Chains A and B, each alone.
Chain A
Amino acid sequence: MSYANWRRRKQLQRKFMWRDVRTYRTCYLFLAPYAIIFTLFYVVPVLVSMWYGFTYYNVLQPARFIGMRNYINLILVDDIFLTAVKNTFLIAAITGPIGYIAAFLFAWLIHELPKRIRAIAVLIFYAPTISGQVYLIWTFIFSGDSYGYANAIGVNLGLLEKPRMWLTDPTYMMTIVIIVILWASLGTGFLSFIAGLNTIPDDQYEAGYVDGVKNRWQELWYITLPNMKSMLMFGAVMSITTAFNTADVTMALCGFPSTDYAARTVVTHLIDYGQQRFEMGYASAIATVLFLVMYLCNKFIQKALSRLGT
């Protein structure tokens, strides 16, 4: 945004506490340590990587500029990329919204509990995230031989005639991946909601009782949600990034590469090219496309969320 533009905005909003240059100096001083490190280790690498998207770069030789060829190959030639996009959209469309709503719902329900047991309840619900690479548990559950829990129980109860290859048969793969992702979706957003719920001032709830808020649902809608707006924004961005970045789960469960690429996502496709085939340029092009999709998706959701409670 240009400075002139910004001046005009300033006059309109009148949100300013101070106008003199000394305030700005303090602001920049507070921002400086973060800004320097952030620019060096986040902004510059992203820009460099976007540049790699226009090159052929095999990590050993210097990058060679090839224009749009990576992008043309990606869209017109690469069939597997299409599968990856389809899977990623499917995962994002299901686990994104459900995971997000579940994270808020459970945070809110736990907040209804008495204080003494809340910390333990949070720990239990956060367990799938805190215990690191827990997807491994699911490989035991859905293991293809009769040692797997799902097969053992199914066969013993007579539900299955013979053990099923849960994680190698393309028919079941995506369903299982989605279940596991949903199970692990109470992560960053969930904890930030817990923290946010604890900072809503009590006097607002008290005022609510006086004004005739009758039950917990009315309280949720009229007091809690409007107060949580900025946390909900944060949670939404985190949900989008985790949903579109799905890779660890599919690699741990279905193998890498998975049978017929049936569980391939955009990010596993990118890892394949970046870390196995050393085509860093192509991998960077994939990353850039994914980034643009996430950016647009985020814009849309921010717009929807800003209408909440108005």
Chain B
Amino acid sequence: MKKIKAGRQPNRSLAGDIGVGIVLVLFGCFFAFPLVYVINSAFKPLDELFVFPPRLFVRNPTTKNISDMFLLMNKQGVITFTRYAFNSLLITVVGTAGHILIASMAAYVLAKYRFPGSLTFFKMVTVALMFTGYVLAIPNYLIMARLGWVNTYLALIIPAFASPMGLFLMKQFMESSIPDVLVEAAKIDGAREGRIFFTIVMPLVKPAILTLMIFSIQGLWNNVGTTYIYSEELKTLPFALRTLAAGGVARTGVSSASTLFMMILPVVCFILAQSNIVETMASSGIKE
């Protein structure tokens, strides 16, 4: 077989590559707007936040907004800021890890086996995606109350484990990127289901796992969670920051700083995950 050069692919025209670049740069400016805006606003002094005509870029950057935010956080109420941060971090880490494991396990058997009820179950999951969440709050609350989970972390973490979107994503992915022959070969070699799942299936769908991780972190980290939680010491970081920002016009600076602050973790995870996805060497692992 011909070896493909590491650099340019042989069937790409230079003009086409330049065209792709131009299109992406033009639209990129349009889409990058919120990032630029959020970062700049966080460092704007109060007079620049209200200047007319409005300016996108900051002239005299200041860290006052950020220091104000931390100052206010420590003054607010009896609960320290670190407790809110801990709550959010706990929910995000446990919820994401559990979701990836549980959804992938279910997705694996749904993608690779047919057993009584498998097709019906999968159909139910995709259909559940289409029911609007707003009317589910009350039935969900009643169930939580009956389980005694109201005002515990469990109420935020456990439902996140079974988010329908996660299973749907993993199942679609496993269906297309895990060859049946690979699973069969492992079985002939005497591997058990559990081993096949962890050593063959999971590494092969790494891009999907990382993508699911992004979605899950984004959802859980921004979870305000006040539907099920009313003890102050169990409340989450977005809730605490929202209370700070609710202080009116005088808090505009603090609120723009807190928007930036909430974005740090998701964006860092996003970049780490994406660079990992890009580095994935795709190969079917089969030589015929």
Residues of A at the B interface (CB closer than 8 Å) are: 1, 3, 6, 10, 13, 15-17, 23-24, 26-28, 30-31, 33-35, 37-38, 40-46, 48-49, 52, 59, 106, 109-110, 112-113, 115, 118-132, 134, 137, 140, 146-149, 152-153, 156, 183, 186, 188, 191-192, 194-196, 198-203, 205-206, 209-210, 213-216, 219, 227-231, 233-234, 237-238, 240-241, 244-245, 267, 270-271, 274-275, 280, 283-284, 287, 290-291, 294-295, 298
What would 23 A/B residue contacts be, using CB atoms closer than 8 Å? Answer: A1-B120, A10-B114, A27-B113, A30-B106, A34-B162, A37-B158, A42-B136, A44-B143, A119-B277, A127-B34, A130-B267, A132-B222, A137-B33, A194-B277, A198-B282, A199-B176, A205-B4, A206-B4, A209-B4, A231-B176, A241-B129, A267-B132, A270-B134
A27 touches B109 (CB 8 A): yes
> A195 to B280, alpha carbons, bound, how many Å?
10
Interface flags, B102-135, vs A, CB<8A=1, else 0? 1101101110111110111100111111111011
Is there an interface contact between B12 and A216, defined as CB atoms closer than 8 Å? Answer: yes
- B168: interface (CB < 8 Å): yes
Size of interface on B: residues with Cβ below 8 Å to A: 106
B54 at the interface (CB under 8 A from A): yes
What is the CB-to-nearest-CB distance from A34 to chain B, in angstroms, rounded to a whole number?
Answer: 4
B10 — which chain A residues lie within 8 A by C-beta? 209
Kindly list chain A residues whose C-beta atoms are within 8 Å of the C-beta of B114: 10, 13, 15-16
User: In the complex, are the beta carbons of B28 and A38 less than 8 A apart?
Assistant: no
Question: How far in angstroms is the closest Cβ of chain A from B25?
Answer: 10
Where the two chains meet, the residues of B that have a C-beta atom closer than 8 Å to any C-beta of A are 1-2, 4, 9-13, 16-17, 20-21, 23-24, 27-28, 30-35, 37-38, 52-54, 102-103, 105-106, 108-110, 112-116, 118-121, 124-132, 134-136, 138-140, 142-143, 158-159, 161-162, 164-165, 167-169, 172-173, 175-177, 180, 183-184, 187, 193, 197, 205, 207-208, 210-211, 214-215, 218, 222, 259, 262-263, 266-267, 270-271, 274-275, 277-284
B102 touches A124 (CB 8 A): no
User: Which residues of chain B are within 8 angstroms of A42 by Cβ–Cβ distance?
Assistant: 128, 136, 159, 162, 164
Other than A196-B176, A291-B131, give 13 A-B pairs with Cβ distance below 8 A.
Answer: A17-B180, A17-B183, A27-B109, A35-B121, A37-B158, A43-B128, A45-B136, A49-B135, A49-B138, A125-B28, A198-B207, A209-B11, A290-B132
Q: Closest 10 interchain pairs by CB?
A: A34-B106, A45-B139, A37-B162, A195-B207, A119-B274, A48-B139, A230-B172, A38-B162, A41-B159, A294-B130
Cβ B127 vs Cβ A295 within 8 A: yes
Contact A198 B280 (CB under 8 A): yes
| With A43-B128, A123-B267, A287-B132 as contacts: A201 and B102 at CB distance below 8 Å | no
Residues of A within 8 A of B168 (CB): 234, 237
With A34-B102, A109-B20, A202-B282 as contacts: A59 and B274 at CB distance below 8 Å: no
Are B115 and A27 neighbours in the complex by a CB distance under 8 Å?
yes
| Distance between Cα atoms of A203 and B37 in the complex (Å) | 43
Our pick among A3, A33, A129, A298 for the contact of B106 (Cβ within 8 Å) is A33
Q: How many A-B residue pairs have CB under 8 A?
A: 291
Q: Is the CB–CB distance between A34 and B277 below 8 Å?
A: no
The reply to whether A199 and B207 form a contact with Cβ atoms under 8 Å apart is: yes
With A194-B277, A209-B2, A274-B135 already in contact, the answer to whether A37 and B283 are too (CB < 8 A) is no
What residues on A are CB-neighbors of B13 within 8 Å?
Answer: 215
CA distance A241 to B131 in the complex (A): 9
Q: How far is the CB of A48 from chain B (nearest CB, A)?
A: 4
Neighbouring B residues of A115 by C-beta, 8 Å? 278-279
Are A198 and B278 neighbours in the complex by a CB distance under 8 Å? Answer: yes
The answer for the CA separation of A245 and B130 in the assembled complex, in Å, is 9
The verdict on A270 contacting B132 (CB below 8 Å), with A27-B113, A119-B271 known, is yes
A1→B169 CA distance, assembly (Å):
24
**A195 contacts B165, CB within 8 Å?**
no
Chain B's closest residue to A155 (CB) is B53
Q: Which residue of B lies closest to A204 (CB)?
A: B284
- B161 CB to closest chain A CB (Å) equals 5
Q: With A and B bound together, what is the CA distance between A147 and B180 in angstroms?
A: 61
B140 touches A41 (CB 8 A): yes
Whether the Cβ atoms of A195 and B210 lie closer than 8 Å is yes
| C-alpha gap A287/B134 in the complex (Å) | 9
A126 lies within 8 A of B172 (CB)? no
Q: How far is the CA of A34 from the CA of B161 in the complex (A)?
A: 7
**Bound CA span A271–B208, Å:** 33
Contact yes or no, A44 B139, CB < 8 A: yes
Cα–Cα distance between A15 and B118 once the two chains are bound (Å): 14
Does the CB pair B134–A271 fall under 8 Å?
A: yes
Residue of A27, A183, A199 touching B118 (CB-CB under 8 A): A27
A127 to chain B: which residues have CB within 8 Å?
31-35
- Taking a contact as CB atoms closer than 8 A, the residue among B105, B222, B283 that contacts A201 in the complex is B283
Chain B residues lying within 8 Å of A37, measured Cβ to Cβ, are 102, 158-159, 161-162
Residues of A within 8 A of B180 (CB): 17
Assuming the contacts A37-B161, A271-B134, asked whether A112 and B139 have C-beta atoms less than 8 A apart, the reply is no
